[in-house]
Amino acid sequence: MSSLNLVPASVEDFRRRAAKRLPRTLFDYIDGGAGAEVTLHDNVRDFQKLRLSQRVMRDISDTRTDIDLLGEKLAMPVILAPVGMGGIMAHRAEVQAKRVADKFGIPFTLSTVAICPVDEVAAVSDTPFWFQLYMLRDRGVVLEMLQRAWDHGVRTLVFTVDLGVMGTRYRDIRNGMAGGASLWGKIRGGPVEYATHPHWLWNVALRGGPLKFGNIAKYAPSARSLPDFKTWVDSQFDPSVDWNDIAWLREQWKGKLVIKGVLDPQDALDARRVGADAIVVSNHGGRQLDGVASGATMLPQIADKIQGDVPLIVDGGVRSGQDVVKALALGAKAVMIGRPWIYALAAQGQAGLERMLALFKADMHTALGLSGYPLARDVDRGALLDHGKNLS
């Protein structure tokens, strides 16, 4: 017998509510992955497969979730990941997310292709946030964006390296986002779909503007719609980028440099060699190359290779505070969550995201206490049954 579902208790609950609130095209954009979505589902399943080791009769009267990362103190080892087009899923979503991140003492990462620009997010508070960037063909634009981020208090740059080629996303193709839809298809997927989602239509489409990629608007002055901006962004992705370009970036950026999109131990070593201050073990949330391994699978291999020289962050498939503890046990210093924070905002706005992060923290306290690790910073592979060897 199903419950009344009066109050969301998990990320999946927020996901279901977001699916009802958002036009189908938009929900599928954030919810979907590449190809048949094998990797997308493996990201979640591989964390689910891990078993924590329950330990009892230890002093757990003061469990603590705080950690130190890149010179910052985080109230829990969770970072809001960069999510493109966030502000079209909820009213000025990036601004709301920054407010909540500040309240919970964790970093928020603003995407290059966010709806809200860096200055609008910076105006929320004096608390620094992180900024995510791609290597664009026009290096002058890259330098300008770096300077603008620095001028608005950003000191940690998250540089995404796994987008040299765009992944093939079946849901976006089926929904007409990649073009090819008939006239009726465009009407059905646009005005008709929007009209059947009045909450989104009123709060986002009509009252959430301007709906454009705020950080790149000045570089695409002829763009009049989100598809126009997307065309410009796609034309700027540079498939020739290699580690020499990252070394150049390291010379330009004065703050902390986090390399996001590493899934191979040798790539992790290369990222360390060119000066990365941290590495995000990631397959882009299963949105790029379907069939690759999950972050949970590759994290311990990369951790063994890096040997603690560079902090590791993992994203993809983290859906609870228990998953956070499992990630720490596998060798991560922290996790990034993307879809969960968008689901929560789309479902219930700022209050929804506050509730979701509170659930994460409560889950962490439970998992830390019952696995015998009062301090999050002390979690190691001993927190996993058979040290995680059941992940295969």
Cα separations (Å) of 359 from 16, 92, 354, 355, 364?
Answer: 17, 23, 9, 6, 8
Work out the angle at residue 160's Cα, subtended by the Cα atoms of residues 262 and 363, and round it to the nearest 5 degrees. 70
Average pLDDT over residues 135-154: 94
Average pLDDT, stretch 205-230? 83
Whether the pLDDT of residue 189 is over 90: the answer is no
Asked if pLDDT for residue 236 goes beyond 90, the answer is no
3-state SS assignment for residue 198: helix
Q: Who wins on pLDDT, 178 or 63?
A: 63
Helix (H) or strand (E) holding 315: strand 312-315
Least confident of 92-96, 231-235, 331-335: 231-235
Buried b (16+ CB within 10 A) or exposed e, 161-192: bbbeeebebbbbebbbbeeebeeeeeeebeee
pLDDT score recorded for residue 111: 97
Mean pLDDT over 316-339 rounds to 98
What does the alpha-carbon distance between residue 224 and residue 333 come to, in Å, rounded to a whole number? 42
The pLDDT tens digits of the residues spanning 256-275 come to: 999 999 999 999 999 999 99
pLDDT tens column, 154-167: 999 999 999 888 88
Query: What are the phi and psi torsion angles at 306 (to 5°)?
Result: -75, -30
User: Structure tokens of 191?
Assistant: 């005005």
Cβ pair 117, 87 in contact under 8 A: no
Supply the mean pLDDT for the chain.
94
**What fold, for 16-169+233-311+339-385?**
TIM Barrel (3.20.20)
* Percentage above 70 pLDDT, the chain: 97
CB-based contact 32:41 (threshold 8 Å): no
Model confidence over 73-96: pLDDT tens digits? 999 999 999 999 999 999 999 999
DSSP 186: H
Of 20-34, 219-233, 289-303, 315-329, which gets the smallest average pLDDT?
Answer: 219-233
- Of 167-171, 229-233, 244-248, which gets the smallest average pLDDT? 229-233
Which residues, in sequence order, are CB contacts of 98 under 8 Å at separation 6+? 108, 110, 121, 124, 125, 129
SS3 337: strand
Residue 67 CA from chain centroid, whole number: 19
Above 80 in pLDDT, residue 344? yes
DSSP 49-94: H--BPP--SS--TT-B--EEETTEEESSSEEEPP-TTGGGTTTTHH
3-state secondary structure of 334: strand
Cα separation, 223 vs 163, in Å, equals 22
Give the active site residues: 284
Domain extents in the chain:
16-169+233-311+339-385
133 has which bridge partners? Answer: 159
- For the segment 302-330, the average pLDDT, to the nearest whole number, is 97
**Residue 180 vs residue 22, higher pLDDT:** 22
Quote the CA–CA distance of 346 and 89 in Å, as a whole number: 6
Helical (H) or strand (E) element with 340: helix 339-370
Does pLDDT of 233 surpass 80?
no
Neighbours of 38 (CB within 10 A): 14
Residue 390: is its pLDDT beyond 70?
no
pLDDT surpassing 60 at residue 392: no
Residue-level pLDDT at 388: 65
More confident residue, 183 or 352: 352
- List strands edge to edge, sheet with 312-315: 78-80, 334-337, 312-315, 278-281, 256-262, 156-160, 130-133, 109-110
